[in-house]
Structure 1
Amino acid sequence: MRLNELEIYLNQLLNTTRFHDYCPNGLQVEGRNEVRCLVSGVTASLELLEAAVAVNADVILVHHGYFWRGEDPCLIGMKHRRIAFLMKHNMGLLSYHLPLDAHPDFGNNIQLAHRLGFVETGRFGEQNIAMLGTLQSGALNLKALQVTIERTLGRKPLVIGNEAKLVQRMAWCTGAAQSYFEEAIQLGVDAFVTGEISERTVHTARESGVAFISAGHHATERYGVQALGEHISQKFGITHQFIDIDSPV
């Protein structure tokens, strides 16, 4: 399929015009017109770009692309090396940030929920991205929930809370969504899951009695872009490969 056709389809599917984001969503770097092979990944690091070239990708689909609000706009240093590499290999870059977090089928939040056994019952937070829900299995103590998350994501989460606490009502938002924690507390949840933690969040969890689980920014955001890439592959008959460039954060 044509690159511009793919971008139009994704922009419509993810409803990009609804979001006020920190970066441009859609085609960030233009590549060859014909798309036969798509690589997806979490972040458009140079390592991902090199891996994509190795499998002859025509375009890369990521959650974390380039041109973030407030950053130096000059094409120097790391940014120059990345974009120069894409252009040298005539490889396109498609990036979707908040629209990918929020999508009801292919979004990071719903895809994480499927894997951890969370059932969505509502949404909250900025632009209605964060999710409320319950545990499909019924109430678990915090220790058991921690074990489930560790086994599923392949990394040990940082948990603030009493291990014996019973958890049934959940809130979650992938990535760096610790700023939603206080709103989640007001909504009466037992625990909040996100990717990162701030120093002040530790005290908020201890004093509120609501558990806070930091499960990893990268680890919680691997699944939306995979699901979207597979959808594109099946719908348009192009090759798709997810390449996981590990991050400890």
Structure 2
Amino acid sequence: MQSKDLEDYLTALLKPEQIKDFTPNGLQIQGCKDINKVITGVTASKALIERAISEQADAILVHHGYFWKNESYVIRGMKHDRIKSLLVNDINLFAYHLPLDIHPTLGNNAQLAKLFNIENVAPLELGNPLSVAMQGSFKQEWRGEDFATLINTTLERECLHIAPPSNKPIKTIAWCSGGGQGYIELAAEQGIDAFLTGEVSEQTTHIAHEMDIHCFAAGHHATERYGIKALGEHLAKEHGLEVLFVDIDNPV
């Protein structure tokens, strides 16, 4: 498959033009023209690049790429080392940020819903089909402690559970993969029992306590493994590419 054809396919699939993002989506670093082997991972770190080189991959496909808003334009230091490695080895770098978070079947939020058997999935931002935060419900009620254990087992990472004073049972949940802690207040205002995300901030604890909502912080990396993995598996199935998902450990 040629690089241009892969980019066109991913553009048609993920529709990055629909949502304003903090980084360019698509082909960020041009490499070889023909692509047969793809490495997928959460972040285009030096470790992931080195693995792609050792695997003789033609392309890397990630959720977190380069050239973020307010990032320095200067290519030096860590950025220089990463980009040089890609260029010298003729490896393409594709990155899809928010378009991958919100994709209805392959996205990070969709994959979390699948992992935790969340039903009645809908946007948390009512009326916004491109909402980066979602809401849904469970068939059965969960005790906060038991749901925390389920998160730990499923995502293979110990989550932070901030329980409200009522420690109420959980029947409804909102979630946003990665750094979505800013949506907890909206979830609480809608009477949702729990909120799941990757990160928390200092004020998150006070919001959870004062607005009577459970909060689970399960790690930015851990909540965003599954979209890029699902996307790679989709490409392998639909286009016969050799795809290898590489999970570079990150406790954050």
Q: Which runs of 5+ in 2 are unaligned?
A: none
1:92 aligned onto 2:92: yes
Residue 181 of structure 1: which of 177, 181, 184 is its match?
A: 184
CA contact (8 A) 2:167 2:214 kept: no
Shift of 1:164: 4.6
1:166 aligned onto 2:169: yes
Shift of 1:187: 1.5
1:217 aligned onto 2:216: no
CA contact (8 A) 1:143 1:164 kept: no
Shift of 1:119: 1.9
What residue number does 2:200 align with?
A: 197
CA contact (8 A) 1:29 1:92 kept: yes
SS, match of residue 75 in structure 2: coil
Q: Which runs of 5+ in 1 are unaligned?
A: none
What residue number does 2:25 align with?
A: 25
Shift of 1:129: 1.6
Structure 2 distance, partners of 1:119, 1:41, is 27
CA contact (8 A) 1:192 1:213 kept: yes
Shift of 1:124: 2.6
Shift of 1:116: 1.6
How many positions carry a matched residue from both structures?
248
RMSD of aligned C-alpha atoms? 1.2
Equivalent AA in structure 1 for residue 150 of structure 2: T
Structure 1 distance, partners of 2:124, 2:152, is 26
SS, match of residue 28 in structure 2: strand
With structure 1 as the length reference, what TM-score do the two structures score?
0.97
Shift of 1:120: 4.1
What residue number does 2:153 align with?
A: 151
Cα deviation 1:4-42 (Å, max 9, x = unaligned) = 000000011001100100000000000100010011000
CA contact (8 A) 1:113 1:120 kept: no
Shift of 1:193: 0.1
- What is the correspondence of 1:44-193 to structure 2 with a 5 Å cutoff? 44-125=44-125, 127-136=130-139, 138-162=140-164, 164-193=167-196
SS, match of residue 135 in structure 2: strand
Equivalent AA in structure 2 for residue 248 of structure 1: P
What residue number does 1:228 align with?
A: 231
Cα deviation 1:225-244 (Å, max 9, x = unaligned) = 00000100111111000000
The structure-2 alpha-carbon separation of the partners of 1:104 and 1:30, relative to structure 1 and needing over 3 Å to count, comes to same
Return structure 1 stretches of 4+ with deviation > 3 angstroms: none
With structure 2 as the length reference, what TM-score do the two structures score?
0.96
The structure-2 alpha-carbon separation of the partners of 1:69 and 1:120, relative to structure 1 and needing over 3 Å to count, comes to farther
CA contact (8 A) 2:23 2:69 kept: yes
Between stretches 119-128 and 12-21, larger displacement belongs to 119-128
CA contact (8 A) 1:120 1:131 kept: no
Cα deviation 1:166-218 (Å, max 9, x = unaligned) = 00100001000001111111111000000000000110101111011100000
The structure-2 alpha-carbon separation of the partners of 1:19 and 1:183, relative to structure 1 and needing over 3 Å to count, comes to same
Shift of 1:67: 0.1
Structure 2 distance, partners of 1:210, 1:221, is 23
Structure 2 distance, partners of 1:187, 1:54, is 49
